[in-house]
Copies of this chain bind each other. A is one copy, B any other.
Amino acid sequence: MKTDTVFKQAFNQTLTLLSAAGTGAPLPSENALSADLGVSRTTVRKVLAHLAERGYITGQGRNRIIATAVPDDAHFPHTETIATAQQVEVHFMEWMLRGHAQPGTQINELELARAFGVGTTGIREFLNRFRRFGLIAKRPNAGWVFMGFTRDFAMELFEIREMFELRSARALVRLPDSATIWPRLRAIERQHHELLNQIDARFQDFSDLDNRFHRLINSAVPNRFIDDFYDIITFIFHYHYQWNKRDERLRNETAIREHLAYIQALFSRDLVQVHAACSLHLASARKTMLAAFDAH
């Protein structure tokens, strides 16, 4: 059956809202909460019912009021708010990156299902989706094979990445001044400066900024296949960075400076400059990832 992770997560979020509003405050309407939490009204009502049952809110219908301050331990544990499908992803990446998986390793659905504590269907579905990342292959009626997160894989990934990014940067330069990309580019430039100023404390935030920056560049002249490819990039980088922490602060600082130069080039609308700045950044990103393989 379905897990109730959606409910539990919505419940936790609502608790936080309650704390912020304080005792005695009226509750927003069910529709408002539904939009706020990003779940259906059915789930909102379930949350409300639970809150009432535990005495955190009183009244009913349109006259609901926050009754008491909510104790901290009222939250559901974080693990209970993660859907099975997401759990499988996390577990699998863990399994993969911990070296359990040499190139050529056979992947056994039942074994993984037991190891991860889920049904085989969950594993199957994940593998089918994960297939597009190019790391596993299927032999019909005979299971999956892990292809290896190898140097070749990374090189091929970067080849495409560079092709796509240069294409987007070139297209961007040709856009008129009135395009919405320009103010958005300014905004993200500002975020780069902010992060750079607090680099010592916040260098871990770069990963997210990096992702948003490159996706922004593509979004100016969108192409769904490039977008899809960025899912792969994001996914690989996400797990790769978790695994390779060496020189993280320095690497990120360098990358931020490269981004800023790249952004400036874009504003200059000079194709040669853009090309140079973009290539420089991509080459340095590639070097970073390949270095991780050589160190290993």
Contacts and interface: CB of A to CB of B under 8 A. Distances in A.
Nearest to A231: B132
Contact of A131 (B129, B153, B232): B129
A156 B125 contact: no
A203 to B, nearest CB: 30
Nearest to A226: B160
A9 B226 CA distance: 39
A157 B225 contact: yes
Contacts of A132: 132, 228
B224 A134 contact: yes
A223 B125 contact: no
Given A6-B141, A125-B125, A163-B167, A225 B131 contact: no
Interface in A218-234: 223-226, 228-229, 232
A223 B159 contact: yes
Interface in A116-142: 121, 124-125, 128-129, 131-132, 134, 141
Q: How large is the interface on A (under 10, 10 to 19, 20 to 34, 35 or more residues)?
A: 20 to 34
Contacts of A159: 223
Nearest to A227: B134
A51 to B, nearest CB: 22
25 contacts: A6-B141, A121-B121, A124-B125, A125-B125, A125-B128, A128-B128, A128-B129, A129-B131, A132-B132, A134-B224, A134-B225, A134-B228, A153-B224, A156-B223, A156-B224, A156-B225, A157-B225, A159-B223, A160-B223, A160-B225, A160-B226, A163-B163, A163-B167, A225-B229, A225-B232
Contacts of A128: 125, 128-129
A160 to B, nearest CB: 5
A6 B232 CA distance: 34
Interface in A235-267: none
